[in-house]
Structure 1
């Protein structure tokens, strides 16, 4: 998995509407072959990931850093199922400071991770029917 680093990379991915949303996050995506100057901006055929965490929605740096770590860890765990595309995860609303008192609490981390798994699960490539384990069909 590669990380988006340049402004141009973020602009190309953010140009389109979000492909998936949850209460706190939006996911923007662009296929690598369809991006203008794709070979220059994304030289490696891989999953590219960028994160936008505006101060407007996460005022404290410790909160932004905790959320950023959860995003990268969740994406790393789901990497084999993610498409070869450029993805940007954008925080679009605040996690309530009344509900989550500490920015580093396990409760906040679990809530963020659960929402991210749902968000990224919407763009994962499902296993072909022949490769689905037989135990998944039982009962």
Structure 2
């Protein structure tokens, strides 16, 4: 289920956490979010503006890394509805290749730090 109303409801909330490149919006499905996110489990949405990741290869790399890290950490988290939003570009000078191994490692490390221990935030 990926409806605009779900994204809007989560993005209206203040970010739970921020990192150098990402902002994390959302929280546990409560009374206000319950009808938008029925049933138990996790929900992860992604917002990757072309403004910050121009190449489709880079956006796909980011998307795969976000889903991978979120899926790996899901068993240790309570049910959550989250939107991960890219809020700044990765420096092209530091990562000249659109899908380099260095970029993949950097993104993964940043996402793990952003999502780890979220239930304590």
Name the TM-score, length of structure 1 as normaliser: 0.81
RMSD: 1.6
Query: Counterpart in 2 of 1:117?
Result: 112
Aligned pairs, number: 121
Please, which of 4, 17, 38 is the counterpart of residue 20 of structure 1?
17
Query: Counterpart in 2 of 1:135?
Result: none
Q: Contact between 1:22 and 1:119, CA under 8 Å: does it hold in 2?
A: yes
Measure, in 2, the Cα distance between the counterparts of 1:122 and 1:42.
Answer: 22
1:59 aligns with 2:71: no
Structure 1 or 2, whichever has the larger Rg, is 1
Measure, in 2, the Cα distance between the counterparts of 1:34 and 1:88.
Answer: 18
3-state DSSP of counterpart to 1:99: coil
Pairwise mapping of residues 119-134 of structure 1 onto structure 2 (< 5 A)?
119-124=114-119
Deviation above 3 Å: which 4+ runs of structure 1?
Answer: none
Name the TM-score, length of structure 2 as normaliser: 0.92
Please, which of 98, 105, 108 is the counterpart of residue 103 of structure 2?
108
* Structure 1 spans left out of the alignment, 5+ residues: 126-139
